């Protein structure tokens, strides 16, 4: 009977140690600056139309979530696209959605921080971030994007950088704003 109790106690301790080790080795979820909120299909369509996306564009979606904007740009316009997101679950969903849509040859989803991403290849950047994140992103956008690149944002502007176009879209009784800017020529004449 004693042996049996010691065996049960030893087994219990072993289970606790294995569980604690597994929990300790599980990486913490990333700290997200922006909560995931899917963009309604009507807003996706309006953003892509406002950006004047064509087959010649390379669209970068910052905080790409399930990939719907990048996938729509590839499927509807033949554009190439890159989605960047911090959440591994969203990247898995985006890749699954791209396979289902048949556009894996035109899109890529990158697990990473938008502030570390190289945006220089982009001709179009789409965003559905928060106001403070947009404002933090603005210097990077103006520094890395070439003149003529289009930036389209859902619901949040870029501070005192006046949009060239603004559209209000009603979805289920809620008003959404879509803004567009074009990167101006550089004063120093570079790029």
Q: Are 126 and 97 in contact (CB under 8 A)?
A: no
The predicted pLDDT at position 117 comes to: 97
From residue 96, alpha-carbon distances to 23, 60, 61, 75, 141 in Å are: 27, 18, 17, 15, 29
User: Is residue 19 exposed (0-12), middle (13-18) or buried (19+ Cβ within 10 Å)?
Assistant: exposed
**Token reading at 13:** 């301790």
The predicted pLDDT at position 16 comes to: 40
Q: Which residue has the higher pLDDT, 12 or 120?
A: 120
26 pLDDT exceeds 80?
Answer: no
Instruction: Write the pLDDT tens digit of every residue in 139-191.
Output: 999 999 999 999 999 999 999 999 999 999 999 999 999 999 999 987 655 54
Q: Cβ–Cβ contacts within 10 Å for residue 34, how many?
A: 20
**Token reading at 44:** 């996706």
Homologous superfamily of domain range 41-182: Vaccinia Virus protein VP39 (3.40.50.150)
pTM score, whole prediction: 0.82
Instruction: Write the pLDDT tens digit of every residue in 32-86.
Output: 567 888 999 999 999 999 999 999 999 999 999 999 999 999 999 999 999 999 9
DSSP secondary structure letters along 51-85: TT--TT-EEEEET-TTSHHHHHHHHHH--EEEEEE
20 pLDDT exceeds 50?
Answer: no
Bridge partners for 64 per DSSP: none
Domain definitions of the chain by residue range: 41-182
């Amino acid at each position: 009977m004693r042996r049996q109790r010691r065996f049960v106690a030893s087994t219990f301790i072993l289970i606790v140690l294995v569980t604690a080790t597994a929990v300790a080795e599980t990486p913490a979820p990333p700290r997200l600056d922006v909560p995931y909120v899917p963009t309604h299909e009507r807003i996706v369509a309006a953003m892509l139309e406002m950006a004047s996306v064509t087959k010649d564009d390379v669209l970068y979606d910052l905080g790409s979530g399930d990939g719907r904007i990048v996938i729509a740009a590839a499927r509807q316009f033949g554009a190439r696209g890159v989605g960047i997101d911090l959440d591994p679950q969203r990247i898995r969903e985006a890749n699954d959605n791209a396979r289902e849509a048949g556009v894996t040859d035109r899109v890529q989803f990158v697990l990473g921080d938008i502030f570390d991403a190289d945006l220089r290849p982009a001709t179009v950047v789409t965003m559905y971030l928060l106001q403070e994140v947009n404002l933090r992103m603005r210097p990077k956008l103006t520094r890395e994007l070439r003149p003529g690149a289009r930036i389209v944002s859902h619901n949040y502007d870029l501070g005192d950088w006046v949009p060239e176009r603004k559209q209000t879209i009603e979805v289920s009784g809620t008003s959404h704003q879509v803004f567009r800017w074009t990167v101006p020529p550089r004063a120093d004449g570079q790029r």
